[in-house]
Amino acid sequence: MTAKLSDRLYKRGRDFLGVEYPIICGAMTWVSDPKLVSSVANSGGFGCLAGGNTPPDILVQQIEETRKLTDKPFAVNIITIAPAYKDHLKIVTTLKLPYVIFAGGFPNREEVKSVKATGAKVICFASTASIAKRMIKFGADAIILEGMEAGGHVGHVSLIVLLQQVLFEVGDEIPVFVGGGLATGKMCAHMMLMGAAGVQLGTRFAMAEESCAHPKFKQKFIQANARDAVSTPQFDSRLPVVAVRALRNNGMDDFGKLQLDLIHQMDEGGINRELAQHKVEEYWMGGLRKAVVDGDIDHGSLMAGQSVGLIHKTETTTQIIDNIAEDVEKECIRVKAFMA
């Protein structure tokens, strides 16, 4: 194989993930199933099976199915705030997986330790330098930074700021992967030129031919502009909600109405905050299934990152990864010539 300039950019992430390209397909509930995860892995990237709030027995089946479809490395993503989290944690420690990603919140030291004891590499999300340092102290082997440009549940800080707050601060200590708003190889190249070990993309892989997302869901993405992917507001501090970025539709309006109704019920003493927050997450999980599985693009949740404005067609996972890799190499050549 002829050496390429981009090999130097890939080396750290390639060595850590054990893949040809350190291009991560982010874990997307209802989308990142065994078929998509194995397709990404077999195409040279790194797939992440979405734990979400999957019933434990189903998650075990999905892990086993993914193992049958690929002999390449992949991760299982578990959500620390999901009702099924404790069961999922037990599963990933029992099945001895090569990679486990903690998402949705931050695991404690003992949870990280229990997963690492199985031989797995632990990857944690971090939105500030202090959180990144805490996760490193707890034993995380790598960090993922995800800017607010991403789809689904997001934070409130853009990737461009997180790069400066976290990547530049801890990037020499531990591999740092970055995501949020990424769709092109040219931009991915610059993320790695700045020190990222690799990149994470979600929205572009949701559009893959191997993605189980409903054709109406994908068509809506093709028609969308970046400004159509909006983040939900929080109406009252008494009902904290994690912002969700999705395409604007009736489902987004219905969520606003749900918040107001829950706040009213809290005022009347008919519901406590914990149950209200559960109702919020229940709404999003149901809404996402409506859109992804049933094709209800009016009232379902069309979770998408702002990179949706850069994606205009469906492709196979191999085409997506090869296209990104080709453009990364082209940008390396261009930068080298410019600096010369």
SS3 323: helix
Q: Which domain holds residue 33?
A: 6-213+311-339
CA distance linking residue 183 with residue 204, whole number of Å: 6
* 47 and 151 both lie in a single domain: yes
Residue from 124, 152, 131, 125 nearest 243 by CA: 152
Bridge partners (DSSP) of residue 99 are 75, 121
Domain tally, the chain:
2
Q: How far is CA 167 from CA 102, 105, 107, 145, 331, in A?
A: 18, 19, 20, 8, 21
Give the residue, 241 or 335, on which the prediction is more confident.
Answer: 335
pTM: 0.94
CA distance linking residue 58 with residue 92, whole number of Å: 13
CA distance linking residue 39 with residue 177, whole number of Å: 21
What CATH number should be reported for the domain holding residue 73? 3.20.20.70
The strand order across the sheet containing 244-247 reads 152-153, 244-247, 229-231
Residue from 290, 208, 289 nearest 38 by CA: 208
Reported as a single tens digit per residue, the pLDDT across 292-322 is: 999 999 999 999 999 999 999 999 999 999 9
* 48 and 179 both lie in a single domain: yes
* 58 and 189 both lie in a single domain: yes
Reported as a single tens digit per residue, the pLDDT across 93-152 is: 999 899 999 998 899 999 999 999 999 999 999 888 889 999 999 999 999 999 999 998
* 189 and 74 both lie in a single domain: yes
* 191 and 251 both lie in a single domain: no
Q: Please report the DSSP string for 85-149 in residue order.
A: HHHHHHHHHHTT-SEEEEESS---HHHHHHHHTTTPEEEEE-SSHHHHHHHHHHT-SEEEEE-TT
Note whether residue 236 is domain-resident. Answer: yes
pLDDT number for residue 125:
93
* 260 and 278 both lie in a single domain: yes
Reported as a single tens digit per residue, the pLDDT across 145-185 is: 999 999 988 888 999 999 999 999 999 999 999 999 999 99
* 32 and 143 both lie in a single domain: yes
Percent of the chain with pLDDT over 90: 83
pLDDT number for residue 52:
87
* 203 and 296 both lie in a single domain: no
Alpha helices in the chain (DSSP H): 6-17, 34-42, 56-69, 85-94, 109-116, 129-138, 159-162, 168-170, 185-193, 203-206, 215-223, 250-267, 273-292, 317-339
CA distance linking residue 155 with residue 108, whole number of Å: 20
Query: Residue 19 — φ and ψ, nearest 5°?
Result: -125, 170
CA distance linking residue 149 with residue 47, whole number of Å: 21
Note whether residue 23 is domain-resident. Answer: yes
Residue from 19, 20, 28, 72 nearest 49 by CA: 28
Q: 96: burial class by Cβ within 10 Å (0-12, 13-18, 19+)?
A: exposed
Reported as a single tens digit per residue, the pLDDT across 50-88 is: 998 899 999 999 999 999 999 999 999 999 988 889 999
Note whether residue 220 is domain-resident. Answer: no
